[in-house]
Amino acid sequence: MSPWLPILMAVPVVGAIVVALLPKGSDKLAKQVALLFSLLTLVLTGVVAAGFKPGGERFQFKAEFDWIPSFGVKFGVGVDGVALVLIALSVVLVPIVVLASWHDADGVKTADGTLITPKRSVKTYFSLLLVLETMMIGVFAATDIFLFYVFFEAMLIPMYFMIGSYGGAQRSYAAVKFLLYSLFGGLLMLVAVIGLYYVAGKQTFMFPELVGAIQDPAMQKWLFGGFFIAFAIKAPLWPVHTWLPDAAAQAPAGAAVLLVGVLDKVGTFGMLRFCLELFPDAAKAFTMPIIVLAVISIVYGAIVAIGQTDMKRLIAYTSISHFGFIVMGVFAMSSVAQSGAALYMVNHGFATGALFLAAGFLIARRGSPFIGDYGGVQKVAPLLAGFFLVAGLAGLSLPGLSSFVSEFMVMIGTYSSQAHGSGALTVAAIVSAVAVILAAVYILWMVQRTMNGPTAEPVKAFKDLNAREVWVLAPLVALIIGFGFFPKPLLDVINPSVQQTLTNVQVPTSTIAEKGTGQ
Amino acid sequence: MESQIAEIVQHTGGVIGNAWLMIAFPLVGAFILLVFNRFTDRWGHLLGVAMSLASFVVAVLAFFELLGFGEEERRRAVHLYEFIPGMVDMGLLIDPLSICFALLITGVGSLIHIYSIGYMAHDEHRRRFFSYLNLFVAAMLLLVLADNYVGLFIGWEGVGLASYLLIGFWQFKPSAATAAKKAFVVNRVGDFGLLVGMFIIWTTFGTLTFQGLGEQITPGQTNGTMLAIGLLLLLGACGKSAQLPLQSWLLDAMEGPTPVSALIHAATMVTAGVYLVVRSGAFFFPEGSGAALAVAIVGAATLLAGAIIGCAKDDIKKGLAGSTMSQIGYMMLGAGLGPAGYAFAIGHLITHGFFKADMFLGAGSVMHGMNDEVDMRKYGGLRKYMPITFATFFIGYLAIIGFPLLSGYFTKDGIIETAVHHQPVLGWLAVLGAGITGFYMSRMIFMTFFGEKRWADDAHPHESPAVMTVPLMILSLGSIVLGGYLILSNRLLLFLAPAVGRPEALPEFHFTSTPGLATLALVAVGAIIAWMKYGRVEVPSVQPRGSFLTTFARRDLYGDALNESLFMRPGQWLTRIAVFFDNRGIDGLVNGLAAGIGGSSGRLRRLQTGFARTYALSIFIGAALLTGALLLVGNI
């Protein structure tokens, strides 16, 4: 029994309460307190990560308390490698988002200068952020499937209010669409969770005990379906993706970062852990259709991204393409591809986070999310343009930046996967590699239209990034470059946990070991 | 069959053991200049030069250390760190092939750094320019020094990034921004090939290192898989080296400052494709294989296409760019001939690095004195005003047309002779290409330096400062002597042999072979035609209409038009259709379903406007109730 994970989850929520209890008008103090608590969480996570033993027991820092004893529901937490790196991603992003959102809760300025006032107070925004942080940690740390489900659903609430109360002109529509889609998926998952409980008949929701509990292939398929649809909506996968561009475009930039950077990862994380390990036969049976959907997401997301006129929507569509890569990696059933997919989840959080935030800073200066309203920013704000470019290059997976390593691993792992008679996966990998070209088009065309060329009239008055904004983007860029050349610290944590997953799915895991001897 | 290439030995210590310093120096330079930004404005260019020179010093020391080993021990691998655990480690391979490139990159690179001090003196962003140049040198060194394909690929795209940044250095010009983006995107098409090639290599051989492949592949072995790998790598090489069909970006790339054209788009980066083919030669392009033949055909086609384009350009830089395409075509042709051609391909790559950089920088010097005018029709008679520029440019000119005993004579002739011997048809096409080269380069010389002055009154042509002319002199010296030094008595071939293999019979250089004499005759004919059209008669200062053929060449053989109608326009339509489908199709369907479930579309409209939150909240409460109910039912 380790107290660390409950402590980690408690710190932000305590912070949220403190922020909420602050007297009216102490907005600045609220922001500072929120920043302090999020930094404290980051430090504590660092302590946990330092104590994690890769290759040791699968779930570490375990803690279990009885919650609803009559159903065997427990408050069970513990982290494996994949969960750990995703928690690390979350707690790195939250302080950055707090700092980036310093003025987001003050209202959104539109291009014609009018202000869309938020429906709720500034301190509520930061309080919600901290509540969300607790839930993000909880959802990745939960080893009890019921607890996971609770966090999975509860996370919607703070995000719903952050979009619906602090977002742009279409915020209500976007927030409701987001909520409806997610709830629909959540309901399916709930049914599957309960079904799992009864069919397994083990009087427990604890994940480790439920692995291998469902043997009936037909039952596996039904339950797999419930989980998978929920996760596919969350991720989101084509064709259930249309809520994401709306939500991301209407959300304040900081909220969009957490939505796309972390919340959506719960979907792909869920596929990797629950869909695969609980229902291995179903996962194998459904692999090909899922790979097809993933490849469609990859190419379709990229093509639609090229055609976007709104920066935030564009970034959202690039993410749909990237989630396609993650899903493809998860279901390619090879250790290289799955490690790549897990790494992709982290790297995508940094890359898309940086891009959303840089775009957010740009939009805050002009009030318009439309690419056509900009031009020539580089001349007046070279720092902003520089960070925007680096973030964009991470988005197109430039080698030397972190996203390349994961995309490369996913593609090469898919190509070389022996899991399904390699033909179809080979084709999938080759088709997905076309996105490498499309990514250059959507990113560099956006960069050209916003940053290059003659400086547009309203852009001339732009100020370059201030110190706060530099401090928001610099750590992300440092991480992107650092993990681009040294992905080993992350992979060393991820690899054993992926091996475990593949063992539970009964896929031969020798791929990486055998191939590794060749060098 | 050719003799096997040498084993790779692990190496620690010494200069070679610390060869990563070569990459680190310019990388640190780029980092400091970018991060400390304005604070380095005053001395940033000096730091850039110093870092490039430091890298050159390391390369020279490593070269001599390498010479100290016996021939069969001259392949030294330096392990750096574990990159992707279980897949590939980061390491460097210092062998005759990579050290040749390292010397060229850092040597010519340093000269161009020095030249840029003068050329960019009046640019307010000179410091940024030097940071990009440093970044380029670092990436290019990683490309050639990496001991595996992934490291090579990181350098490969790194130089692509530097190229993108430098083509678009004057990004406020829409043409420069467009050219930069085009270069990157077209290169990515090639990168697609390289990527998929790596997938197959890893899947087939379980390794991505040159050493690992060397252990598994017996020389000369071919099969369908290896042919596929070869063709995919060739696609990558075509993108980077502006070979058909991915050539279209190079001419537009001339939007960048001229030193960039000299360093990246002539001397080094664009030759990376040749490096890739030669480095992979023993594995995927063995002599006589289909892949090697494809390389040679691409080279021959491009050497003609580039030469034809070069004939019609009035923009001095675009003329030189066409020539670069063409000369790299020669290198590719050589690289497609197996070990017999490698030494000449690499030799031509080195001498071309000198004489083309010399001419590009010379063109820059001309532009510097002519208010950045690039239209040769507005030059004329400049030899009197810029004697040093003229002299050095003229030496470069003699070298490229293959004037006897100058550098280009030996290396180009070597390629032609070998090609005529192995692939007669391609070889004779190369002879023809040499004749066209004689024409377009002579045309350039006559239009620029001879005849009457045609420039506007506000131009005051003058010689450039010493910081620019001294690098020109050094480069022209290399253009004179390097070729003979490398080719005579097979110095380069024997030096490279441990890395790329040795041909069955050592070639001997004949000064009076049939193809050699034919080449000289055709070059002379080309030069005379150029004199008749541009030397003897006055050059019109406005471009004449020209025949169908001239237009064909002026429009870059309709390469852009082809790309536009084949890819760009269909792509735009596809994008529009996809966006429409996404907004109306999928979303419409979902909204419709929601409305259907909700009972009426009126409810949906309400959802979107006023009562949204209440509606959502009710669903959420509903879900919570359902959860509770299910739990209760379960309990009974």
DSSP letters for B46-57: HHHHHHHHHHHH
Task: Kindly state the tokens that stand for B469.
Answer: 């002319």
Is B608's CB within 8 Å of A172's CB?
A: yes
User: Which pLDDT belongs to residue A508?
Assistant: 57
The whole-angstrom separation of Cα A392 and Cα A202 is: 49
Is A488's CB within 8 Å of B607's CB?
A: no
Is A518's CB within 8 Å of B582's CB?
A: no
Local confidence band at B564 (pLDDT 50, 70, 90 cut-offs): confident
Question: Rounded mean pLDDT of chain A?
Answer: 88
Amino acid at B109: G
Region A242-265: mean pLDDT is 90
Q: Strand order of the sheet with strand B76-84?
A: B9-10, B76-84, B88-94
DSSP code at position A120: S
CB-closest option in A70, A399, A437 to B185: A437
User: Which pLDDT belongs to residue B36?
Assistant: 87
Nearest to B263 by CA among B106, B401, B121: B106
Is A304's CB within 8 Å of B86's CB?
A: no
Element counts in chain B: helices (H) and strands (E):
28, 3
The CB density around residue B635, as the number of other CB atoms within 10 Å, is 8
CA distance B554 to chain A (A): 26
User: Which pLDDT belongs to residue B591?
Assistant: 61
Task: Kindly state the tokens that stand for A218.
Answer: 């037909």
CB B416 within 8 A of CB B513: no
User: Which pLDDT belongs to residue B603?
Assistant: 44
C-alpha dihedral (A11, A12, A16, A18), degrees to nearest 10:
30
Lowest mean pLDDT among A320-334, B193-207, B518-532, B535-549: B535-549
Local confidence band at A388 (pLDDT 50, 70, 90 cut-offs): very high
CB-closest option in B203, B206, B576 to A415: B203
A209 alpha carbon, distance to own chain's centre: 27
- Backbone φ and ψ for B612, nearest 5 degrees, come out as -50, -50
Local confidence band at A108 (pLDDT 50, 70, 90 cut-offs): low
Is B185's CB within 8 Å of A440's CB?
A: yes
The whole-angstrom separation of Cα A395 and Cα A381 is: 21
**B254-288 pLDDT tens trace:** 988 989 988 888 889 999 999 999 999 889 998 88
Is B185's CB within 8 Å of A172's CB?
A: no
Beta-bridged to residue B78, according to DSSP, are B92
Selected residue of B211, B569, B627, B636 to mutate for chain A interface (largest A Cβ count, 10 A): B627
Within 13 A of B42's CA, how many CA atoms are on the CB side? 1
Set of chain A residues whose Cβ sits within 8 Å of the Cβ of B184: 440, 444
Place of tokens 């890359």: A351
Set of chain A residues whose Cβ sits within 8 Å of the Cβ of B586: 239, 241-242
Looking at chain B, which residue has its C-alpha nearest residue A413? B199
User: 3-state class of A141 per DSSP?
Assistant: helix
User: 3-state class of B604 per DSSP?
Assistant: helix
CB A408 within 8 A of CB B150: yes
CB-closest option in A307, A436, A488 to B579: A307
Region A231-260: mean pLDDT is 88
User: 3-state class of B268 per DSSP?
Assistant: coil
User: Which pLDDT belongs to residue A514?
Assistant: 41
Rounded CA Rg of chain A? 22
CA distance A198 to chain B (A): 8
Question: Rounded mean pLDDT of chain B?
Answer: 86
Residue B199 has pLDDT above 90, yes or no: yes
Residue A392 has pLDDT above 60, yes or no: yes
Percent of chain A clearing pLDDT 70 (strictly above):
95
Please report, in angstroms and rounded to a whole number, the separation of the first and last CA atoms in chain B: 83
What is the value of pTM for the model shown?
0.90
User: Does an H or E element contain B501, and which?
Assistant: none
**B99-153 pLDDT tens trace:** 999 999 999 999 999 999 988 888 888 899 999 999 999 999 999 999 999 999 9
Task: Kindly state the tokens that stand for A459.
Answer: 């852009």
CB A12 within 8 A of CB A133: yes
The whole-angstrom separation of Cα A272 and Cα A277 is: 8
Greatest Cα pair distance in chain A: 69
Residue A442 has pLDDT above 90, yes or no: yes
Task: Kindly state the tokens that stand for B629.
Answer: 């109910």
Selected residue of A170, A407, A452, A492 to mutate for chain B interface (largest B Cβ count, 10 A): A452
DSSP A357-414: HHHHHHHHHHS--BGGG---HHHH-HHHHHHHHHHHHHHTT-TTSHHHHHHHHHHHHH
Higher pLDDT, A261 or B71: A261
Residue B53 has pLDDT above 90, yes or no: yes
Task: Kindly state the tokens that stand for B526.
Answer: 């080309």
CB-closest option in B168, B209, B623 to A452: B168
Percent of chain B clearing pLDDT 90 (strictly above):
45
CB-closest option in A173, A393, A416 to B203: A416
CB B447 within 8 A of CB B379: yes
CB A233 within 8 A of CB A156: no
Residue B41 has pLDDT above 50, yes or no: yes
CB-closest option in A307, A436, A514 to B576: A307
User: 3-state class of B209 per DSSP?
Assistant: strand
CB A450 within 8 A of CB A311: yes
What are the start-end ranges of the H helices in A462-507? 467-485, 488-505
Is B87's CB within 8 Å of A336's CB?
A: yes
Task: Kindly state the tokens that stand for B99.
Answer: 């050290």
User: Does an H or E element contain A85, and which?
Assistant: helix A81-100
Residue A479 CB-density burial (10 A; 0-12 exposed, 13-18 middle, 19+ buried): buried
The CB density around residue B66, as the number of other CB atoms within 10 Å, is 22
Beta-bridged to residue B93, according to DSSP, are B77
Q: Tell me what ipTM this predicted complex has.
A: 0.91
**A503-513 pLDDT tens trace:** 888 765 444 43
The whole-angstrom separation of Cα B630 and Cα B635 is: 9
Residue B595 has pLDDT above 90, yes or no: no
For residue B37, what are the contacts with CB-CB under 8 A and spacing of at least 6?
B127
Characterise B422 by phi-psi region: left (phi > 0), alpha (psi -120 to 50), beta (else).
Answer: alpha
Within 13 A of A14's CA, how many CA atoms are on the CB side? 11
- Backbone φ and ψ for A237, nearest 5 degrees, come out as -110, 145
Residue B296 CB-density burial (10 A; 0-12 exposed, 13-18 middle, 19+ buried): buried
User: Which pLDDT belongs to residue A107?
Assistant: 67
**B596-622 pLDDT tens trace:** 544 444 444 444 444 445 445 544 555
User: 3-state class of B600 per DSSP?
Assistant: coil
Task: Kindly state the tokens that stand for B123.
Answer: 């640019």
CB A413 within 8 A of CB A512: no
Is B623's CB within 8 Å of A415's CB?
A: no
Instruction: Give the torsion sign (CA, A147, A151, A153, A154).
Output: positive
CB B436 within 8 A of CB B527: no
The CB density around residue B170, as the number of other CB atoms within 10 Å, is 17
User: Which pLDDT belongs to residue A273?
Assistant: 92
Task: Kindly state the tokens that stand for B556.
Answer: 């870059």
The whole-angstrom separation of Cα B121 and Cα B132 is: 16
Residue A428 has pLDDT above 80, yes or no: yes
Across A398-418, b (16+ Cβ under 10 Å) vs e yields bbbbbbbbbbbbbbbbbbbbe
Is A516's CB within 8 Å of B83's CB?
A: no
The whole-angstrom separation of Cα B174 and Cα B361 is: 24
Set of chain B residues whose Cβ sits within 8 Å of the Cβ of A434: 192
- Strand ranges in A93-209 using DSSP code E only, listed in sequence order: 108-109, 115-116
- Backbone φ and ψ for B460, nearest 5 degrees, come out as -125, 80
Distances (CA, A) of B66 to B24, B148, B343: 20, 20, 18
Rounded CA Rg of chain B? 28
Nearest to A104 by CA among A415, A387, A356: A356
Set of chain B residues whose Cβ sits within 8 Å of the Cβ of A173: 607-608, 612
Residue A516 has pLDDT above 70, yes or no: no
Residue A91 has pLDDT above 80, yes or no: yes
What are the start-end ranges of the H helices in B370-406? 387-401
Set of chain B residues whose Cβ sits within 8 Å of the Cβ of A307: 575-576, 578-579
For residue A57, what are the contacts with CB-CB under 8 A and spacing of at least 6?
none
Selected residue of B613, B615, B636 to mutate for chain A interface (largest A Cβ count, 10 A): B613
Is A434's CB within 8 Å of B192's CB?
A: yes
For residue A312, what are the contacts with CB-CB under 8 A and spacing of at least 6?
A248, A249, A253, A256, A356, A359, A363, A369
Residue A279 has pLDDT above 80, yes or no: yes
Region B543-548: mean pLDDT is 76
- Backbone φ and ψ for A79, nearest 5 degrees, come out as -125, 140
CB-closest option in A176, A404, A405 to B612: A176
CA distance B31 to chain A (A): 12
Local confidence band at B631 (pLDDT 50, 70, 90 cut-offs): very low
Place of tokens 């950045």: B372
